[in-house]
C-alpha cells in the first residue's frame, strides 16, 4: 500500500503549474482534458517532485464552496511537507522567486525547517531532514 496522490485546490490551472514547476521545481506529470461528473470540461493536472512517487493533483475550484477553500485546505495549519536535500539552495531559489516565508529558517530535532505559502496561500513546511 502507498499514498499515490493528494489534491490541492487552485483558482486556475496555468498559474499553479508555473508555481509548482518553475518555483518549486516539480515535474509536470500530466495535463490532460477531462470532464466533471456532470459533463463540463476540466483538466487533469498532476505534478510531483523529481524522483517522488506521490503526486499532487492540481484541481481547479468548482463552485463557491470549493473556491472558499482555496488556500485554506488545512484550516490555517501547515498541511504539506516538502523534503529537500539542499535546504539553503532551495531556500535561496524560492526567495528569488518571491515565495512568501512565514518566519526565518530554524533547526528542529527533525531537521532544518521554514514555513512558506504556495500560490493559493496554503502553508507548507520545507524541511531538510536531520
Looking at the fold, whether 85 and 51 belong to one and the same domain comes out as no
Residues 99 and 48 in one domain: no
Q: Which of 52, 70, 88 is the last residue of a domain?
A: 70
Q: Which pLDDT belongs to residue 109?
A: 97
User: Is residue 66 domain-shared with residue 8, that is, in the same domain?
Assistant: yes
The pLDDT value recorded for residue 88 is 97
Overall average pLDDT of the 99-103 stretch: 97
Q: Could you list the residue range(s) of the whole structural domain that residue 48 is in?
A: 1-70
Local structure of 70: helix, strand or coil: coil
CATH number at residue 17: 3.10.180.10
Cell 508555481: give the residue. 19
Give the pLDDT band (50/70/90) at residue 6. Answer: very high
Same domain, 66 and 104: no
Same domain, 7 and 66: yes
What value does the mean pLDDT take over residues 104-116?
98
* pLDDT score at 58: 98
- Reported as a pLDDT band with limits 50, 70 and 90, residue 118 is very high
In order, the DSSP letters of 11-43 are: S-HHHHHHIIIIIS--EEEEEEEEE-TTS-EEE
- pLDDT > 70: what percent of the chain? 100
Domain boundary among 23, 49, 70: 70
Cβ contacts of residue 98 below 8 Å, gap of 6+?
A: none
107 in the same domain as 52 = no
Residue 95 has pLDDT above 90, yes or no: yes
Are residues 21 and 42 both part of a single domain?
yes
Q: How confident is the model at residue 119 (pLDDT cuts 50, 70, 90)?
A: very high
11-54 pLDDT tens trace: 999 999 999 999 999 999 999 999 988 999 999 999 999 999 99
Do 54 and 94 lie in one domain? The reply is: no
Amino acid at each position: 500500500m502507498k499514498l499515490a496522490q493528494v489534491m490541492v485546490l487552485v483558482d486556475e490551472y496555468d498559474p499553479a503549474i508555473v508555481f509548482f514547476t518553475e518555483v518549486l521545481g516539480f515535474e509536470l506529470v500530466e495535463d490532460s482534458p477531462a470532464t466533471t461528473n456532470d459533463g463540463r470540461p476540466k483538466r487533469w493536472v498532476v505534478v510531483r517532485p523529481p524522483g517522488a512517487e506521490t503526486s499532487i493533483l492540481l484541481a481547479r475550484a468548482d463552485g463557491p464552496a470549493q473556491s472558499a477553500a482555496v488556500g485554506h485546505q488545512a484550516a490555517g495549519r501547515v498541511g504539506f511537507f516538502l523534503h529537500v536535500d539542499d535546504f539553503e539552495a532551495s531556500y535561496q531559489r524560492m526567495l528569488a522567486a518571491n515565495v512568501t516565508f512565514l518566519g526565518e529558517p530554524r533547526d528542529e530535532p527533525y531537521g532544518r525547517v521554514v514555513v512558506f505559502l504556495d500560490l493559493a496561500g496554503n502553508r507548507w513546511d520545507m524541511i531538510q531532514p536531520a
